[in-house]
Amino acid sequence: MATATVTAIPTDTGIETRNYLNADYGLKSWLLTTDHKRIAWLYLIAITFFFLVGAIAALLIRIDLLVPQGLIVTPETYNKLFTMHGIIMVFLFLIPSIPAVFGNFLIPMMIGARDVAFPKLNLLSWYVFVTGGMFVMYAIAAGGVDTGWTFYTPLSTSYLNTHVMAAAAGVFIAGFSSILTGLNFIVTIHKMRAPGMTWFRMPLFLWSMYATSVMQVLGTPVLAITLFLVAIERMFHVGIFDPALGGDPLLFQHLFWFYSHPAVYIMILPSMGVVSELIAAFSRKRIFGYEFVAFSSVAIAAISFLVWGHHMFVSGESVYAGVVFSALSMAVAIPSAIKVFNWTATLYKGSISFDAPMLYALGFIGLFTMGGLTGIFLATLAVDQYVHDTYFVVAHFHYIMVGGAIMGYMGALHYWWPKMTGRLYPDRWARVAAFIIFIGFNLTFLPQFVLGYLGMPRRYAIYPAQFQSLNVLSTAGASILGVGYVIPLIYFIWSLRYGPVAGPNPFRAKGLEWTTPSPPPPHNFEQTPIVTEEAYAYGSGVPHSV
């Protein structure tokens, strides 16, 4: 979409220095680049495309649910829409979002390196990702798939005649991109830190990226294996999950959630890292309790592998397994709470400004708090037995994934956009959009908590009329939310050509990435920086914007 636009930044309006955007021209220079900053752009373009496709599916879902019988599509199509929405948003947008775009762009810059450890592998990851994405797009174009993003067996292996194999192959392939990216980041953070960049001087974004990468490397192979087994059962009728063939239907759920619960943290931890950066920069303060925030990321990553059974409290899993998984799931709440309290405490006696990125960060804290606390409802066995698989769950995970992960992503986009492009976006519009998103989001998903409490099951194409008013309210909220996302899309594209020149450090923030020109030169730093202070050393003076 924006490849041409990006390369077409005119050099006669203020950005004259040689940088990674104008160092080379032409499609080939982008498609064969090994520059982590250009690869970040490749990902940004790809995931923006996938986000739009997933958002169209969401839009159609919300329109359809305006009336109990379904306004525009048949139940069959409705099932394909929510499946597409889930698969695309989870595997092709949220999981790659912050790691692949901002992790790629920022990790080398934040640690004072020229690039990631394996630049060619990094480019390969993008091609693998796009190949996976194409399989999913093919599944949609060929007629769709209606398994739900969860691919539950034996429905997915023995009962559906839609394009399950193409979609599963797409997710399988995209998973390898996630593994390779994680591997690259782990090695980069271990081996390529500039002199003086100790672990406890690192920006907290890097701690969360590190924890995320470990989860990607350890968890994603399990998903790959699981989907492979689905394929074997589907194609060769080997009994693995389908009892009619001699398999066990719950085995699939254990394997699937062993990855897909950590995947939730793969989506949210990078956002938490971003929020730490934003809160520090716009309060001009070191993050309160840095070590606690850093280690809470590691704790979340570690515990996340031990909580998958909370998706299965009512699945027929043993009561005692349920008790253990309930306790472990409660345990994840603690490091999450520690983060929220420390971010809030960072504001105390700060110098707080309300630029657009900060509005997203503050919005994140509020919405993540609600998402996290409603997660504890679902970890509580007796409450889960009531609201499991209802709209309560839908609302809960959208508070985490949209209210949390996407708010963080939008914050990151607004914070580092001037660094990536050298241009500023209109701040007033950005603040307005942030408010619209916050209001639209809550109006969309608060009614869904109530729907769940009233018993409306998720994934219902046709629903009892008593639920209509709340569904209409939710759809109204979604249309506001949609407007909130379109506005940034417009002004970001506008700013590529017409935005005022940003200068190296428009927000006057600390951090190695802000010591370079904007956009940065091809190899980031003129010479390897020597680090003498921690990432948030605002006490030693606030940097100037130029």
Partner 1 sequence: MLFGLLLGFLPEASTMARPVDYLFWFCIAVLVFFTALIFATIFYFAIRYRRRSEDEIPPQIQGNLPLEIVWTVIPMGIVAVMFVWGTALFIRNARPPADATDVYVTGKQWMWKIQHSNGRREIDALHVPEGVPIKLIMTSEDVIHDFSVPAFRVKKDVLPDHYTSIWFTADRLGKYRFYCDQYCGMGHSQMRGYLYVMTPGAYEAWLHHGVQAQTMAQAGALLYNRMGCSTCHGTGKGPPFAGLYGKTVRLANGSTAAANDAYLRQMILYPGQKIVAGYRDIMPTFKGQLTEEEVLDLIAYIKSLGSKPGNTGE
Residues 139-168 that bind partner 1 (CB under 8 A): 146, 148, 150, 152, 154-155, 158-160
Tell me whether residue 102 or residue 151 sits nearer to partner 1 (CB atom).
Answer: 151
Q: What is the DSSP letter of 238?
A: -
User: 143: which 2 tokens?
Assistant: 């007629």
Q: Quick one: which of 59, 454, 493, 501 contacts partner 1 (CB under 8 A)?
A: 454
Q: Residue 119, Cα to own-chain centre: how many angstroms? A: 23
Q: Which residues of 50-75 are buried (b: 16+ CB within 10 A; e: fewer)?
A: bbebbbebbbbbbbbbeeeebeebee
Q: Quick one: which of 298, 439, 446, 487 contacts partner 1 (CB under 8 A)?
A: 446
CA distance 223 to 213: 15
Question: In this structure, are residues 182 and 213 in contact, taking their beta carbons and an 8 Å threshold?
Answer: yes
Q: Which residues contact 451 (CB under 8 A, 6 or more apart)?
A: 390, 391, 392, 395, 467, 470, 471, 474
Q: Quick one: which of 376, 476, 480, 493 contacts partner 1 (CB under 8 A)?
A: 376
Is the Cα torsion angle 522, 523, 527, 533 positive or negative in sign? positive
Q: Quick one: which of 207, 460, 491, 492 contacts partner 1 (CB under 8 A)?
A: 460
Tell me whether residue 192 or residue 337 sits nearer to partner 1 (CB atom).
Answer: 337
User: φ and ψ at 15, to 5 degrees?
Assistant: -100, 95
Cβ 154 to partner 1, closest distance in Å? Answer: 6
Chain residues 515-544 in contact with partner 1, contact rule CB under 8 A:
538-539, 541-542
Q: Quick one: which of 323, 489, 530, 546 contacts partner 1 (CB under 8 A)?
A: 323
Alpha carbon distance, N-terminus to C-terminus of the chain: 31
Cβ 156 to partner 1, closest distance in Å? Answer: 9
Chain residues 292-311 in contact with partner 1, contact rule CB under 8 A:
292
Chain residues 233-262 in contact with partner 1, contact rule CB under 8 A:
242-244, 249-250
CA distance 59 to 32: 35
The reply to whether omega before 519 is within 30° of 0 (cis) is: yes
Binding mask 173-212 for partner 1 (x = CB under 8 A): ----------------------------------------
User: 26: which 2 tokens?
Assistant: 């032409």
Tell me whether residue 26 or residue 316 sits nearer to partner 1 (CB atom).
Answer: 316
Cβ 344 to partner 1, closest distance in Å? Answer: 5
Cβ 329 to partner 1, closest distance in Å? Answer: 9
Stretch that binds partner 1, among 40-48, 54-62, 428-436, 449-457 (CB under 8 A): 449-457
Tell me whether residue 221 or residue 289 sits nearer to partner 1 (CB atom).
Answer: 289
Tell me whether residue 376 or residue 476 sits nearer to partner 1 (CB atom).
Answer: 376
CA distance 99 to 263: 13
Chain residues 34-73 in contact with partner 1, contact rule CB under 8 A:
none
Tell me whether residue 134 or residue 450 sits nearer to partner 1 (CB atom).
Answer: 450
Q: Quick one: which of 49, 138, 429, 453 contacts partner 1 (CB under 8 A)?
A: 453
Tell me whether residue 41 or residue 449 sits nearer to partner 1 (CB atom).
Answer: 449
Tell me whether residue 249 or residue 411 sits nearer to partner 1 (CB atom).
Answer: 249
CA distance 244 to 256: 20
Q: Which helix (H) or strand (E) holds 452?
A: helix 427-453
Chain residues 406-445 in contact with partner 1, contact rule CB under 8 A:
none
Angle, helices 356-379 vs 407-421, to 10°: value is 150
Chain residues 97-136 in contact with partner 1, contact rule CB under 8 A:
none
Cβ 544 to partner 1, closest distance in Å? Answer: 9
Cβ 216 to partner 1, closest distance in Å? Answer: 27
Tell me whether residue 123 or residue 307 sits nearer to partner 1 (CB atom).
Answer: 307
Question: In this structure, are residues 408 and 364 in contact, taking their beta carbons and an 8 Å threshold?
Answer: yes
Cβ 75 to partner 1, closest distance in Å? Answer: 6
Tell me whether residue 126 or residue 441 sits nearer to partner 1 (CB atom).
Answer: 441
Cβ 381 to partner 1, closest distance in Å? Answer: 3
Chain residues 73-92 in contact with partner 1, contact rule CB under 8 A:
75-76, 79
Angle, helices 36-64 vs 119-141, to 10°: value is 20
Number of residues that bind partner 1 (CB under 8 A): 96
Residue among 207, 217, 30 nearest 130 (CA):
30
CA distance 398 to 65: 17
Strands (E), 128-243: none
Binding mask 330-369 for partner 1 (x = CB under 8 A): xx-xx--xx-xxx-xx-xxxxxxxx-------x--xx--x
- Give yes or no for residue 468 binding partner 1 (CB under 8 A): no
Q: Which residues contact 262 (CB under 8 A, 6 or more apart)?
A: 215, 218, 219, 301, 304, 305
